[in-house]
Amino acid sequence: MNYFGKLFEGIYTLFTGSLEMALIRILLIVAGLALIYLCYKKILDPLILLPMGMGMVAVNAGMLILEGGKVGTMFVAPLISDPTKLLEALQVNFLQPLYTFTFSNGLIACLIFMGIGVITDVDYLLATPLPSMMLAVGAELGTVLTLPVAMLWGLNVKEAAAIAMVGGADGPMVIYTSLILAKHLFIPITVIGYLYLSLTYAGYPFLVKIMIPRRMRGIAMDPFAIPRIPAAEKLAFSVVALLVLSLLFPVAAPLFASFFLGVAIKELNVQRFKEFLTGPILFGSTFILGLVLGGLLSADIVGDVIVLKLLVLGMLALFLSGVGGILAGLLYYKISKGKVNPLLGIAGVSCVPTTAKVAQKAAFDANKFAMILPYAMGANVAGVITTAIICGIYVGLVPLMS
């Protein structure tokens, strides 16, 4: 290596490797800059995508020649499994401790779920359990249909199940499933999952406009018709649901425990814990998630043909789930003889609370007096439960079948 190369390794490494790798690096830098710009324009959610974009720019610009002449970064080395090398990486890479101790064991997903549990209102689910759960089951269409499509495209059953979970539209579940079923694809699947979850806010409104006539979208529902649920009942529900779901799917028990612990803390009104979980834990974990994901998106890790397949499959999964939810909403509208707004169906996609907000916004666009948010939240929370059920089935069953 010459003096220039040693002095400016980031630029030097662009020209020393293959042309393909250099192009991927430049593409990822541009993608990172695009994320930052779209966050600035409020088109994408900055909570995850701003630190992710910054991480992407830094990791792909900051490539250098490591020991042994290999091109790499000083951010994180996710594919290390040898304990000695891992110890070295922990001492060198600045994001390695966060990745090793919170990502590779699923802790980050559980921490986010605790925070989501605290901000989740289960009133509406308890008031209308059957319709809420059925809408949520309808909105899982992409989570199951993408599996055979992915296998048709050459993925094995574990990889197919991991990418199909994007259809559940639940970030922590996507992380958890891909870590257990397809650890080698964890990075692209998680990044695609979170990227698309941000895009649901932009994409689903178009889908509902195409599939639901304006007249139906404007149906108003009385929010005061929902009975008040006492805190004791909600606490009892969180305990019973945790018990039943953990008994059924022990592999996903950490996720269930995290979510329902959050719900229980909210209903018991433990103020200190509520502040702790909704502030430092939820936002801290979200920030770390975005930054580490950005740091993981280096050219040497994601420069694989399979990423393109995953991009298409992830989009297909979310599209199918949206369609399934809307079809379930339309069926509910028919059964209720026109009393129910079919937009509730899109809220069955469990991206809490984004899809419920999408449903409400679409209702407002059609009729400014149409208040459906409380009902939509019922389907939304039910979506978390159905996604957790499918996560439990995939994580528990698929390894036995591969």
Partner 1 sequence: MHISITTPLEGAGLALFTYILTLIIALIVAGIVKLMYRLIHRKGQVPGPPKEERKIEEILT
Q: Which residues bind partner 1 (CB under 8 A)?
A: 125-126, 129-130, 132-134, 136-137, 140, 144-145, 147-152, 156-157, 160, 164, 224, 227-230, 232-233, 236-237, 240-241, 244-245, 248, 382, 385-386, 389-390, 393-394, 397-398, 400-402
**Measured from the CB of residue 383, what is the shortest distance to partner 1 in angstroms?**
10
Q: Answer for the pair 140, 166: CB distance below 8 angstroms, yes or no.
A: no
Give the residue with the Cβ less far from partner 1, 59 or 352.
352
State which H helix or E strand residue 65 sits in: strand 64-65
Asked if the peptide bond before residue 97 counts as cis, ω within 30 degrees of 0, the response is: no
Give the residue with the Cβ less far from partner 1, 149 or 166.
149
**Measured from the CB of residue 372, what is the shortest distance to partner 1 in angstroms?**
15
Contacts of 267 (CB under 8 A, 6+ apart): 231, 232, 234, 235, 238
**Measured from the CB of residue 116, what is the shortest distance to partner 1 in angstroms?**
18
**Measured from the CB of residue 222, what is the shortest distance to partner 1 in angstroms?**
11
Give the residue with the Cβ less far from partner 1, 52 or 134.
134
Q: Answer for the pair 343, 217: CB distance below 8 angstroms, yes or no.
A: yes
H-type alpha helices, 212-268? 214-217, 231-248, 253-268
The Cα-based distances of 1 to 6, 15, 23, 72, 184 in angstroms read 6, 12, 21, 16, 32
Give the residue with the Cβ less far from partner 1, 245 or 377.
245
**Measured from the CB of residue 94, what is the shortest distance to partner 1 in angstroms?**
40
Backbone φ and ψ for 106, nearest 5 degrees, come out as 80, 5
Give the residue with the Cβ less far from partner 1, 128 or 298.
128
**Measured from the CB of residue 230, what is the shortest distance to partner 1 in angstroms?**
6
DSSP letter string, 299-324: HHHH-SHHHHHHHHHHHHHHHHHHHH
Contacts of 333 (CB under 8 A, 6+ apart): 216, 219, 340, 341, 342
Give the residue with the Cβ less far from partner 1, 51 or 138.
138
Give the residue with the Cβ less far from partner 1, 10 or 230.
230
**Measured from the CB of residue 232, what is the shortest distance to partner 1 in angstroms?**
8
The Cα-based distances of 6 to 3, 67, 69 in angstroms read 5, 13, 12
Give the residue with the Cβ less far from partner 1, 19 or 130.
130
**Measured from the CB of residue 97, what is the shortest distance to partner 1 in angstroms?**
36
**Measured from the CB of residue 125, what is the shortest distance to partner 1 in angstroms?**
7
SS3 368: coil
Q: Give the Cα separation of 341 and 14 in Å (integer).
A: 55
**Measured from the CB of residue 114, what is the shortest distance to partner 1 in angstroms?**
21
Q: Answer for the pair 55, 290: CB distance below 8 angstroms, yes or no.
A: yes
DSSP letter string, 75-114: S--TT---HHHHHHHHHH-TTHHHIIIIITTSHHHHHHHH
Q: Answer for the pair 170, 385: CB distance below 8 angstroms, yes or no.
A: no
Number of other CB atoms surrounding residue 295 within 10 Å: 27
Backbone φ and ψ for 64, nearest 5 degrees, come out as -145, 170
Terminus-to-terminus CA distance in the chain, angstroms? 47
Give the residue with the Cβ less far from partner 1, 141 or 179.
141
**Measured from the CB of residue 396, what is the shortest distance to partner 1 in angstroms?**
11
Give the residue with the Cβ less far from partner 1, 55 or 383.
383
Give the residue with the Cβ less far from partner 1, 258 or 285.
258
